[in-house]
A and B are shown apart, each in its own frame.
Chain A
Amino acid sequence: MLTLDRKLHRDLWRLKGQALAIAVVIAGGVMTLILAVTTLEALTGSRDRFYASHHFAEVFADVKRAPAGLMPRLQGIEGVNRIESRVRAAVRLAVPGFADPVRGLLVSIPDGRQPTLNRLKLLAGALPASGRDDQVVVSDAFAEAHDLAPGDTLEAIIDGRQTRLRLSGIALSPEHLYQAAPTDLMPDYRRYAVMWMNERALANAYDMEGAFNSLTLTLQAGARQEDVIDALDLTLARYGGTGAQTRHDQQSHRFLEEELAQQRLMAGVLPAIFLSVSAFLLNVVMGRIIQTQREQLAVLKAFGYRDRELARHYALLAGAIVLAGWALGVTLGAWAASGMAGLYREYFRFPEMVFRVPAWALALSLGVVVLAALAGTWQAVWRAVSRPPAEAMRPPAPARFRQGWLERALPAALLGHEGRIILRNLARHPAKAGLSVAGIALSCGLLMVGAYQLDAVEAMLDQQYRQVLRMDVELTFIDATPARAVGELRHQPGVMAVEPWRRVPATLIHGHREVRTSLLGLEPMPRLRQLLDADGHARGLPEEGLTLTRHLAGELEARIGDTLEVAIMEGQRRRVDLPLVALVDEPLGTGAYLRRESLNALMGEGPAISGAWLLVDSQRMSELNAALWTMPGVAAIGLLAEAERGIRDYLDETLMMVALIFVTVAGSIAFGVVYNNARIAFAERAREMATLQVLGYTRAEVSRILLGEIALLTLVAIPLGWAIGIAFARLLNQAFSSDLYRIPLVFTPQAFGIAAGGVLGASLLVGLLVVRRLGRLDRIRVLKAVE
């Protein structure tokens, strides 16, 4: 089969332009799969390794204050393996040379040694020495953000008392891989620190001698999580337990899970879309390339080549192209994945991140593209070989040209000769034209999805930070505080408006559905933290009953008018029934709202508040910071502008990268499709165009026919592509909606523009390439050769 194989090499070389375009289409599909899967495996693998090696706990419980003597009883609970008590304290910090308020969390560790659970990975320095009450280990992200080293000092306010802390070391903890402040969505390493301190020292500073306020534990093999949690809750209730949680509700783990869930979706949905689009295009394009080799196939058949020898020949042709595309896709995917690694390293503080392309992803992607290529090739080869060779060599029967309805509908003068030729060519092969349009429309749709992602996230953030969260500063008090503190806050420098709030941890129960969240008590018509209805208008809180975000109501399967059981996890720990009276639409988080007076009444307390939101004159921000620093009851000061910047920076980096990859891949696919369409159209029309030129048509006039066809197909495909893009976006939107955020379904004119511009650009580029080729067309040879 030597000579036939040589023909294979020559054909591949001759088709190099088209082959490359097809390879790019395939590479695009393969790349998204490899990228998503590799990233996912790296994140999951790194996390699991770290969890295992540093004994990440499985159940977590917070209490107001429980005596250390309770521990033997807790250890005795059936199913508990290892259990450890500790003290956790919210603190305020001042970093020398940094004006903004910094929030911190102090966690106790046994004097001078590692805890049993949630062990620290020390990156620098050492644990606090036994007996020292001023030494702390700080989280590495915070240390890095402020360029801190062991030996440096920080000012801290613990339980209203100012203390100087000295860094003994820098560490990572499996409990705080994702270091965001409790109410924040995104980590802000400059303004939030996690620190570890000797237990005796922290208990002393936080008034917790002989007591603890936090528990972590692991379970025995085969133990039922729910049973252990029930037993814990029962025992801890009288000590102010707020309900034990599994990893599922642990902040760092949960954020990681959300991110991994997104990655899992990415690894499922996007490559599926891209791979199926590229498989479809491959199928179409290979089919048409073989169609153009119909005559050669017939000659080989005439000389006695068997169908299977010919099928093998074309399968190899397709195989070589596919393999090249696949290799390109794997390379690009692995390269992009290592780029993503750098980004994720910033947000997930894994001690190590190992990037390896999983073998199954290689096999899967190879299998999909090879099958697609074979399917396309097989069909076309079969069509070509199944006809008697004499028939295949004969010029095809003169096609039945007709005046189409479109042509009849348009005035003849408007169409001209060229227009008529274009319309009739397309009408003659409606299926072929349809496939071309479908191919272009699909890539247009992919471009649209890429653009949509950016717009949607932008819209989501705008809604959250312009309409929902309108405060500048969020103050959290150490304990519930009388509402008269509002008056004091109003007189602080730069404060223009104050709105108090009360937050209470609670579990909402509806039927067999249960969600752990907190009740947020607000003013009747909150202004600094608005509640939005479905149309985006601010609304007030009904006098009675609960208002939930639409997402939370969906989780609970509750509708307006339903009664929810509310188990309050603070104070008298009452269980009450509250009607669901209204729904609000918020893109981020899961909120449950009611009037603050109602919440105070439920708690059996006077007008108490947990914190306040402030609107501040930005000129006087530092003055206010200084004043707040000296207020003893304040546990945390959050700056909204900084939180927003954090989330925007993160999304800009990660989403921009993803969207950029998306748009590049979709753009390449668009180019691949249009280019192959044009090249094949060119091959099919070479004779016709040479004839026209011989008859005296100029090159420009002849070009118009070919370009007109490309342009017409592209223009028809664009609206279709928009529709496909909207459908894909809907799909993504539903898949990506989570507790953390819901991306709105918004389409900006830019998204439509990018999608249309992408395919138009690809068409234009292709048009130029084709016109250049037309100039090189050897008219005499084309005319003399048999059609």
Chain B
Amino acid sequence: MDNGTDEVFTTRGLTRLYRMGEVTIRALQGVDLVLYRGELVVMLGASGSGKSTLLNILGGLDSPSDGEVHYRDGAGQEHDLTRASQRQLTRFRRHHVGFVFQFYNLISSLTARENVAIVTDISQDPMPPEAALALVGLAERLDHFPSQLSGGEQQRVAIARAVAKQPDVLLCDEPTGALDFRTGIRVLEVLERVNRETGTTVAIITHNEVIGEMADRVIRLRDGRVDEIHTNARRRPPGELRW
């Protein structure tokens, strides 16, 4: 973390309502938040706290029902995601954001290398898919299909896919949620390394309190609101985490 004042995301009064069947769910209710360039943030919260919704809105996958969200890119250009068209949101995701999902969401008909390539194909200044896979320790498994990889390996392919385009921000939705402890640590190490070596802003959402210890800041969400923001004096290396 080089500069604590360079804002990447700023949200004001962010609100999101869903109709799930016959019920209306208030996923976010007026979230004010700032994320800074180069930091590693962990957003903690129980299931239903609104953390995934927040991440989706930051990543341009979803739009708020009310409130504002702004994004400032590396060149200092300000983007208003609230009023962006679908086309602008697509461009935003294409050039600035990398995603890692809980269930990896790899395309089963493509190999590891191709799953990365499908993103680098449409990126402006990507790293080679092989380099991205080497970064996550999968240099040896380039031509394996998802069905031939373990859960941890699949998640690392997903991370390689997200970082290969050299995004400004990396948004990770429960990246270890489907993994066992040892594999989870491995994945967190990869994320920490990407943050440290490339300076990419990384936001991880999880319900696992322990993971918060590896972050610069921990943002705690409850019932769709920011409950508490806590800055760690020291980032603990993922290898030291235990749960």
Contacts and interface: CB of A to CB of B under 8 A. Distances in A.
B103 A785 contact: yes
A317 to B, nearest CB: 12
Given A3-B110, A304-B95, A299 B21 contact: no
Contacts of B117: 2-3
Interface string B101-134: 1110101011000100111011000000000000
A417 B178 CA distance: 31
A389 B118 contact: no
B105 A6 contact: no
Nearest to B158: A299
B21 A389 contact: no
Interface stretch (A393-401, A468-476, A486-494, A640-648): A393-401
Interface residues of A, number: 34
Interface stretch (A7-15, A40-48, A175-183, A661-669): A7-15
Given A6-B110, A781-B147, A786-B105, A303 B94 contact: yes
Interface in A291-311: 295-296, 299-307, 309
A10 B105 contact: no
Contact of B101 (A10, A11, A393): A393
Contacts of B29: none
Interface string A4-33: 101100110010000000000000000000
B56 interface: yes
Interface string A746-787: 000000000000000000000000000000000001001110
A2 B21 contact: no
B227 to A, nearest CB: 23
Looking at B19, B20, B107, B119, the one whose CB has the most chain A CB atoms below 10 A away is B107
Given A3-B117, A388-B61, A389-B61, A400 B22 contact: yes
B11 to A, nearest CB: 16
B56 A390 contact: yes
A410 interface: no
A409 interface: no
A303 B122 contact: yes
B231 interface: no
B99 interface: yes
Contacts of A400: 21-22
Contact of B105 (A11, A299, A781): A299
B94 A304 contact: yes
A207 interface: no
B62 interface: yes
A2 B61 contact: no
Q: How large is the interface on B (under 10, 10 to 19, 20 to 34, 35 or more residues)?
A: 35 or more
B59 interface: yes
A302 B121 contact: no
Given A11-B109, A302-B61, A306-B87, 5 more contacts: A3-B110, A302-B93, A303-B94, A304-B92, A388-B61
B200 interface: no
Contact of A3 (B20, B56, B93, B121): B121
A414 to B, nearest CB: 30
25 contacts: A2-B117, A2-B121, A3-B121, A6-B114, A10-B110, A299-B107, A300-B118, A302-B59, A302-B61, A303-B94, A303-B119, A303-B165, A304-B97, A305-B94, A306-B90, A306-B94, A309-B122, A388-B56, A388-B61, A389-B62, A393-B61, A393-B105, A398-B20, A781-B147, A786-B105
A302 B99 CA distance: 8
A7 B110 contact: yes
A305 B21 contact: no
B110 A307 contact: no
Contacts of B87: 306
B91 interface: yes
Nearest to B162: A303
B206 interface: no
Contacts of B122: 303-305, 309
Interface in A369-409: 388-391, 393, 397-400
Interface string B144-186: 0001000100000000010001000000000000100000000
